[in-house]
Amino acid sequence: MHSADYEQNMTTQPRKRLNRLTLTISDDLKAALADLNEATGVAAASFVGEIIEANIPMILGIANAARLAKAEPGRALEIMQRSMLEAVHGANLAQMDLIDEQTKLRTFIRKDED
């Protein structure tokens, strides 16, 4: 039995295959991630990985926009601008989801305090 088969049998859902990526980061980002780890216990690599995973649609959109811009150089700026606007819209939606979750948490805490 392959290890992937074993992992799939141990859970109800198959696990995603994970790949490693080496990143070079600034001292400021390293300090911010260390601060986050100290405050939450979340490992820097896990946090960065989750952020990147959540932005796969944006990354694919930028890749597609770059391909379109190469195919239509006269529209390159328009295509890239549209891609950036879509990315900002996606970030705004994610921020709204976080606000909703924060509101739910506050409501839960207030009910718990009663």
DSSP 15-59: PPPP--------HHHHHHHHHHHHHH---HHHHHHHHHHHTHHHH
- Residue 12: inside a domain, yes or no? no
Number of domains in the chain: 1
pTM, two decimals, is 0.58
pLDDT at 5: 47
pLDDT at 8: 46
* Tokens at 21, concatenated: 């990526």
- Residue 2: inside a domain, yes or no? no
Report the C-alpha gap between 111 and 61 in whole angstroms. Answer: 42
- Residue 16: inside a domain, yes or no? no
- Residue 54: inside a domain, yes or no? yes
pLDDT at 25: 96
Report the C-alpha gap between 96 and 28 in whole angstroms. Answer: 27
pLDDT at 112: 56
- Residue 102: inside a domain, yes or no? yes
- Residue 51: inside a domain, yes or no? yes
- Residue 8: inside a domain, yes or no? no
Tens digit of each residue's pLDDT, the chain (114 residues):
444 444 444 456 677 788 999 999 999 999 999 999 999 899 999 989 988 888 888 888 888 888 888 888 888 888 878 878 887 887 788 788 878 877 777 766 656 555
Q: Which domain holds residue 109?
A: 25-113
